[in-house]
Amino acid sequence: MTDVKPAQPLDATPGNGPIQWRVLKFGGSSVATATGWDRIADAARAAAGEARRFVIVVSALKGVTDRLEQAVRALEGRSPEATAALIDELRDRHARLARATGIQSGALDPLLDDLAAALREQAAAPEDARHGARVLGFGELLSSRLGHAILAAQGVAVDWLDSREVLRADDDSRRNERARWLSADCTVAPDPAFAAALGDRGAAWIAPGFIARGENGDTVLLGRGGSDVSAALIGTRLGAERVEIHSDVPGLFTADPRRIPAARLLRNVSYREAMELAAMGAKALHPRALIPLKRHRIPLWLCQTERPDIDGTRITPEAHEHGAQVKAIVQRRGITLVTMEGLDMWQQVGFLADVFGVFRDHGLSVDLVSTSESNVTVTLDPGANPTDRATLDRLAADLGRFCQVDVRSDCASVSLVGLGIRTILHRIGPALEVFEQRRIFLVSQAANDLNLTFVVEARHAEKLVQQLHQQIIPGGVGGDSVFGPSWDRLNRDEAAIRAVPPWWSQRADDLLETLGDDDAAYVYALDQVRAAAARLKTLRTVDRVLYSMKANPHPDLLRAIVGEGLGVECVSMAEARHVLAAVPELAAEDLLLTPNFAPRAEYREALDAGIPLTIDNPWLLEHWGADLAGRSVFLRIDPGSGLGHHKMVRTAGSNAKFGVPLDELERTLRLARAHDITIRGLHAHTGSGILHPDNWERSLEVLTGIATELPSVEVINLGGGLGVPDRSDELPLDLMALDAGLARIKRALNRDVQIWLEPGRYLVAAAGVLLARVTQLKGKGEVRYVGVATGMNSLIRPALYGAWHEIVNLSRLGKAGEHAYNVVGPICETGDVLGLDRLLPESREGDVLLIANAGAYGAAMASRYNLREPAVEKVIDAERR
Ligand code: ASP
Ligand code: MG
């Protein structure tokens, strides 16, 4: 560290304003590379500009603490050769980093000599944890000393601060001796005098994480991963404006992103939620770091060192204002479940005390508990307990004195985490169907109202997390204040997907002119339909896209879509006849007919016309097999909730009317063979309005599993369900992520199989709007009603499934909302509502309201209820004017 460039002082001199400290912590992977140090230097410059005073806290280079721990365990200090080899190894490791950053590392030699001495002392008195703590602390001493020189060479002047001067371990004699050395507690509070004194000595510092001062000035550790804790404690003592933890991930996610690439970055999280997530194993953060920050309301920002462009997770006192919401789905494996049954326990005083006494005597800490009159079930937390067979057997034997005991060690917990879980249980109801046919051993809703936990067999946990995540966490790739971009999205370079303003916001005049004198009309923008088709054509893994015409069979739309090269999927022969008549260039084989419980004549007609057919019921082969003999068909599979980890396991809800359940598959294939029917394709459709790109990947997984054993399969049809954002803060489906996911699975099937998709909504929903003139206004107490000329007779989705459609006053577009209105139609039904509580400008009779995203399942489902004709349909085309 001799020939460093002269350091330029940063603009970090004390000014007149209040002293603002900031603490920035960098983890082991960040400090291990030269580019990591470039980023640290950038961050230091930024902090100097904004906060004026800062402390950089560093971990040891990645792997160094592990290596030292190993040396301590193996008593390497006993052998001079082993000690020398270890010292050389560490010298080398740091020298390589020094060279890569353009400096020399000779100045670390005295520290390495001290380390050698510490190792010898440790090996001489291995039972004394004091020495082990001292050895482990060298990792951070080395990295911070080296970092000090690297930053100086980069022109960032910082001083080296000994954290042991800032942090003193609590004098807690109740804790066991080892814990006091290796995982010391340290209580601090903002200390303005200290902060000011440190500021007088220097404005910019670098300090080793992980270590603090114990009694007699010895080095103690703050527990493995404790540099986060150091940063939080130093930040607290300095009363910092915030603490930043920079690591190799940008923050906390809605699920473990390594397992679920669609997991979304959490932007705003409360301390309690963060604590829960960190305790559940989110690796971006040590849970203990949050304790002092929460108490003293110091914000904590998580950031990714290599990606300063990403706004990571912010943990702040204000975050609870985002309200009740499930923020993450997490699993913990290695859970041991202990079930204690016994009728005698009913109303027996002291029963729980007795059994918990047994746990205590075995040194086991209990995590979750549920009790009933005859059963007490608890789990043991793997982190805190030795759960080897022998321990568990001894436990069971002792508990057996009080009750019948069953111990299962193959469990996992799956938790929904978020503030106010209790208040939103009704909203997640449908998602809980994923537990159908899965045994739940224990359910626990934490009294802090932060998590709802299910204990299940470990082998089901992964799938459950996936499914709950898909159903509960909003899809999309970013854009709102709580859920940020998905992991997948963040790790690709392409320009970010943006929410674009809707096309109609630029075309109000055109739309009003198109409505003319009518009171209500659907207006479809053909250019928007074409644009959606063009987007789908960018999917490289998808060989063919069929428009699911039930969404909107308007002839102009059909022509536009077929004109873009898409095929058409029909669900009835009437649809097939309609589209063949509307689009003359379309041939029978461009269609795919997927009827469900249709009469026999319809199948015969399709076969005669040469329209490819999907069948979804073995009954049909059993009874009408002769009609199909010698033909090739598609088979629609019901992958159920997709829970079966073995492909032939039945997981379908018995209520599903579509598709062949997996447990009927073998029989269906047998029937097909008997009639010489070839299964040319497999089909599955999982749902609709899905904004999670990984949904289709799951279907593909199930279907490729079946295709592997069915060589006749040439096509896998993944159905539709591609969602369209309904609200302005939702982002569109990430087609690139969808493509990438499909490609991953397709590669695994070592055969050339085509992949088809059948979107309906995706092509036409956003292209269509419903325009309706205001008829009357009404006030009822607090509630204001605005009536329009058409209602559920034109658009039944809000009444039928509570669908949310954006509504604006097109005649007063751009005017700020003044009142919350219920937008209702003229139909004689209380349910005739188009939107509740919509903020609109003061609206008058004759104004035109626009109901957005009405191109799919609007006119197609319209009726003449009340003998009111539904809105007429009109077509505009920006490209043909
Ligand atoms: N180096 C220490 C460890 O690996 C502390 C840290 O990195 O946070 O546990
Ligand atoms: Mg860490």
What are 469's two structure tokens?
């995540």
Question: Which atom belonging to ligand 1 lies closest to the Cα atom of 224?
Answer: 9
Q: Is 631 helix (H, G, I), strand (E, B) or coil?
A: coil
Atom of ligand 1 nearest to the CA of 140: 1
**Alpha carbon separation from 485 to 253, 266, 444, 489 (Å, rounded):** 10, 8, 30, 6
Kindly indicate the confidence band of residue 466, based on its pLDDT and cuts at 50, 70 and 90. confident
Which pLDDT band, with edges at 50, 70 and 90, does 556 fall under? Answer: very high
- Is residue 12 predicted with pLDDT exceeding 60? no
Ligand 1 centroid from CA 154, angstroms:
25
Name the one residue in this structure whose structure tokens are 């080095």: 219
- Residue 28 Cβ inside 6 Å of ligand 1? The answer reads yes
- In what helix (H) or strand (E) does residue 597 lie, and over which residues does it extend? none
227 Cβ below 6 A of ligand 1: yes
What is the chain's Cα-based Rg?
A: 33
Ligand 1 touching residue 138 (CB < 6 A): no
Average pLDDT of the residues in 14-25 = 74
Which positions ≥6 away from 829 have C-beta within 8 Å?
Answer: 792, 799
What does the DSSP 8-state code read for residue 826?
A: S
Pocket mutation for ligand 1, best pick of 56, 59, 64, 144 (most atoms within 8 Å of C-beta): 59
What's the DSSP call for residue 645?
S
- Rounded to the nearest integer, the mean pLDDT of the chain is 88
pLDDT of residue 649: 28
State the closest ligand 1 atom to the C-alpha of 28, by its place in the atom list counted from 1.
Answer: 7
492 versus 140: which is more confidently predicted?
Answer: 140
Closest CA to 628 of 657, 597, 656, 600: 600
pLDDT in tens, 93-105: 999 999 999 998 8
Q: Give the pairing type, strands 483-486 and 159-160.
A: unpaired
Answer whether 179's CB lies under 8 Å from 221's CB.
Answer: no
State the pLDDT at residue 139.
Answer: 98
* pLDDT at site 13: 43
SS (H, E, C) 34-61: HHHHHHHHHHHHHHHHHCCEEEEEECCC
- Residue the block writes with tokens 């402390």: 55
Atom number in ligand 1 closest to CA 210: 5
Mean pLDDT is lowest, of 45-59, 104-118, 375-389, for 375-389
**Cβ–ligand 1 contact at 65 (below 6 Å):** yes
Distance in Å, CA 285 to ligand 2 centroid: 6
Locate tokens 């560093």: which residue? 58
Q: Is the dihedral of CA 364, 367, 372, 375 positive or negative?
A: negative
Report the nearest atom of ligand 1 relative to the CA of 227: 8
The answer to whether 642 and 686 have CB atoms below 8 angstroms apart is yes
Contact 79, 190 (CB under 8 A): no
Quick one: which ligand is closest to 57's CA? 1
CATH class belonging to 326-490: alpha beta
User: Please, which residues have CB within 8 angstroms of residue 322's CB and are 6 or more apart in sequence?
Assistant: 268, 419, 481, 482
Check if 553 has its Cβ closer than 6 Å to any atom of ligand 1: no
Residue 246, beta-bridge partner list: 26, 303
Ligand 1 geometric centre to CA of 223 (Å): 8
In Å, what is the CA distance from 367 to each residue of 333, 380, 444, 874? Answer: 13, 5, 10, 62
Question: Is 226's C-beta closer than 6 angstroms to any atom of ligand 1?
Answer: yes
Return the bridge partners of 206, or none. Answer: 56, 160
Q: Which residues pair with 521 in a beta bridge?
A: 771, 872
Q: Please, are residues 572 and 602 in contact by the beta-carbon 8 Å criterion?
A: yes
Token digits for 620? 């049909």
Residue 285 clears pLDDT 80, i.e. is over it: yes
- Which ligand is closest in space to the CA of residue 222? 1
Ligand 1 pocket test, pick from 211, 227, 285 with the greatest ligand atom count within 8 Å of Cβ, gives 227
Measured from the CB, is residue 68 less than 6 Å from ligand 1? no
669, with CB counted inside 10 A (0-12, 13-18, 19+), is: buried
Residue 60 CB less than 6 A away from ligand 1? yes
798 or 434, higher pLDDT: 798
The pick from 142, 143, 210 for probing ligand 1's pocket by mutation, whose C-beta has the most ligand atoms within 8 angstroms, reads: 210
Distance 62 CA to ligand 1 centre (A): 8
Q: Which ligand is nearest to the CA of 60?
A: 1
Record the tokens describing residue 376, joined without a space: 């007490």
**Separation of CA 28 and ligand 1 centre (Å):** 7
Nearest CA to ligand 1 atom 3: 225
Distance CA 714, CA 612 (A): 13
Cα(223)–Cα(278) distance, integer angstroms: 15
Q: Which residues pair with 247 in a beta bridge?
A: 304
- Closest C-alpha among 293, 334, 284 to residue 316: 293
Q: Write out the catalytic residue numbers.
A: 828
Domain regions of the chain by residue span: 21-247, 326-490, 537-759, 768-880
- CB of 402 within 6 A of ligand 1: the answer is no
* Residue 675 DSSP label: T
pLDDT digits (tens, 9 = 90+) for 670-693: 999 999 999 999 998 876 777 777
pLDDT of residue 377: 92
Q: What is the pLDDT of residue 604?
A: 96
Residue 316 has pLDDT above 70, yes or no: yes
pLDDT for the residue 615: 94
Amino acid at 860: A
Q: Is the pLDDT of residue 124 over 50?
A: yes
Q: Calculate how far, in angstroms, residue 527's C-alpha sits from the geometric centre of ligand 2.
A: 51
- Distance from the alpha carbon of residue 224 to the mean position of ligand 1, in angstroms: 5
What pLDDT was estimated at residue 656?
64
Containing H/E element for 606? helix 600-609
Point out the ligand 1 atom lying closest to the alpha carbon of residue 59.
7
CATH architecture of 21-247: 3-Layer(aba) Sandwich (3.40)
pLDDT in tens, 202-230: 999 999 999 999 988 999 999 999 999 99
> What is the predicted pLDDT for the residue at 152?
95
> Measured in angstroms, how far is the CA atom of residue 286 from the centroid of ligand 2?
7
pLDDT of residue 480: 67
Tokens of 95: 């020298």
Ligand nearest to the CA of 284: 2
Ligand 1: nearest atom to the Cα of 27: 7
Q: Which pLDDT value is given to residue 385?
A: 67
Query: Does ligand 1 lie within 6 Å of residue 59's CB atom?
Result: yes
Instruction: Identify which of 592, 539, 582 has the alpha carbon closest to the alpha carbon of residue 561.
Output: 582
224 lines ligand 1 (CB under 6 A): yes
Ion ligand 2: residues, CB within 5 A, are 27, 225
Q: Which ligand is nearest to the CA of 209?
A: 1
Tokens of 31: 């400090």
Q: For 763, left (φ over 0), alpha (ψ -120 to 50), or beta?
A: alpha
pLDDT of residue 729: 64
- Nearest bound ligand to CA 143? 1
Query: If DSSP codes are grouped into helix, strand and coil, which group holds residue 403?
Result: coil
CA distance 237 to 21: 10
According to DSSP, the β-strands at 204-208 and 53-58 are parallel
Is the distance from CB of 528 to CB of 877 less than 8 angstroms? no
Give the distance from CA 881 to its chain's centroid.
Answer: 44
Give the Å distances, CA to CA, from 523 to 192, 500, 556, 578: 65, 20, 12, 21
Q: Please tell me what DSSP assigns to residue 647.
A: T
- pLDDT for 144 equals 98
- Given a cut of 90, whether residue 553 has pLDDT beyond it is yes
Residue 229 CA, closest ligand 1 atom number: 8
Is 768-880 in CATH node 2.60.40.10?
A: no
Cα 100 versus chain centre, distance: 36
Pocket of ligand 1 contains residue 251 by CB under 6 Å: no
Ramachandran region of residue 363, left (φ > 0), alpha (ψ -120 to 50) or beta? left
CB half-sphere exposure, 418, CA atoms < 13 A: 27
Ligand 1 centroid to Cα of residue 85, in Å, is 22
pTM of the model: 0.60
Which ligand has the nearest atom to the CA of 283? 2
Residue 461 has pLDDT above 90, yes or no: no
> Which pLDDT value is given to residue 499?
56
Percentage, residues of the chain above pLDDT 70: 91
Contact, 834 vs 791, CB < 8 A? Answer: yes
Give me the residue label for tokens 């509070």: 189
pLDDT for residue 6? 40
Residue 36 vs residues 283, 440, 584: alpha-carbon distances, Å: 19, 45, 62
CB atoms within 10 A of CB 879: 9
Closest to 21 (Cα-Cα) out of 231, 314, 319, 288: 231
Residue 268 Cβ < 6 Å to ligand 1 = no
Nearest alpha carbon, ligand 1 atom 6: 225
Residue 116: pLDDT band with limits 50, 70, 90: very high
What is the residue-wise DSSP string for 534-568?
A: HHHHT-SS--EEEEEGGG---HHHHHHHHHTT-EE
Lowest mean pLDDT among 16-25, 540-549, 593-602, 868-877: 16-25
Token digits of residue 140: 């951070």
Distance separating alpha carbons of residues 430 and 96, to the nearest angstrom:
55
β-pairing verdict for 848-851 and 807-809 = antiparallel
Residues 534-539: contacts with CB within 8 Å, 24+ apart? 534/564, 535/735, 536/566, 536/735, 536/757, 536/759, 536/762, 536/763, 537/564, 537/565, 538/735, 538/739, 539/735, 539/738, 539/739, 539/742, 539/757
Is ligand 1 within 6 A of the CB of residue 137?
no
For ligand 1, atom 8, which residue shows the shortest CA distance? 225
Is 860 a residue whose pLDDT tops 90? Answer: yes
When mean pLDDT is compared across 147-161, 366-380, 510-524, 804-818, the lowest value belongs to 366-380
Query: H helices of 716-837, where?
Result: 735-748, 761-764, 797-801
Closest atom of ligand 1 to 139 CA is 1
Strands 328-341 and 375-380: antiparallel
Q: Answer whether 210 contacts ligand 1 (Cβ < 6 A).
A: yes
Span 588-604, pLDDT tens digits: 999 999 999 999 999 99
Distance 235 CA to ligand 2 centre (A): 17
The stretch 547-566 carries a mean pLDDT of 96
Mutate to test the pocket of ligand 1, among 68, 221, 224 (most ligand atoms within 8 A of CB): 224
State pLDDT tens for residues 245-277.
999 889 999 998 877 777 899 998 999 899 988
Whole-number Cα distances in Å, 467 to 414, 490, 521: 11, 22, 39
Residue 64 CA to ligand 1 center (angstroms) comes to 9
From the CA of 58, how far away is ligand 2's center (Å)?
10
Q: Which of 58, 218, 29 is nearest to 135 (CA)?
A: 218
Which atom of ligand 1 lies nearest, measured to the CA of 230? 8
Pairing of strands 678-683, 632-638: parallel
- Strands 366-371, 375-380: pairing is antiparallel
Q: What's the distance, Cα to Cα, between the start and end of the chain in Å? A: 71
User: So what's the architecture of 537-759 in CATH?
Assistant: Alpha-Beta Barrel (3.20)
Tokens of 10: 């940063």
